[in-house]
Amino acid sequence: MHEFSLCRGVLQQVTRIAEAHHAIAINAIHLHIGPLAGVEVALLERAFPLVSRGTIAEHATLEVTRSVVTIYCAKCGNRCEPKRLFICNSCHSSVTELLSGDEMRIENIVLKKRVQTDHVH
């Protein structure tokens, strides 16, 4: 149950980014989480409002894109979405390479910028 730690990690990163862009609010945070990331998205979504209360991300919506597990089989060269664990659907070898499914990324955030910035380009 490390969803609180993950939320705090997300919040720290997006806060720094928001400051660098002179934002007054973070409207949305878009995450990409694979089924093998070890993250329970429902728990993450419940933890986020608690962790973000009183911060620049307080009213941000959390959008989560899920991906699927895909593997490459070193034995037969097949690429597939495995039916079981990391096992190749065609030759049933378990010597496989994970191509996707363990993603745990912040893709982008939507910021509302301050009207006047003290930073001049």
Q: Give the interface with another protein as residue ranges (CB under 8 A).
A: 1-2, 5-6, 9-10, 12-14, 16-17, 20-22, 27, 31, 36-39, 84-87, 93-96, 104-117, 121
Q: Phi/psi class of residue 71: alpha, beta or left (left: φ > 0; alpha: ψ in -120 to 50)?
A: beta
Q: Give the closest residue to 18 by CA, choosing from 55, 44, 54.
A: 55
Min dist. Cβ of residue 99 to another protein (A)? 14
54/116 with CB nearer another protein: 116
49/104 with CB nearer another protein: 104
Min dist. Cβ of residue 70 to another protein (A)? 15
53/116 with CB nearer another protein: 116
Measured between alpha carbons, how far is residue 93 from residues 36, 70, 98 in Å?
19, 14, 13
Using DSSP's 3-state secondary structure scheme, residue 98 falls into strand
Place of tokens 């400051």: 19
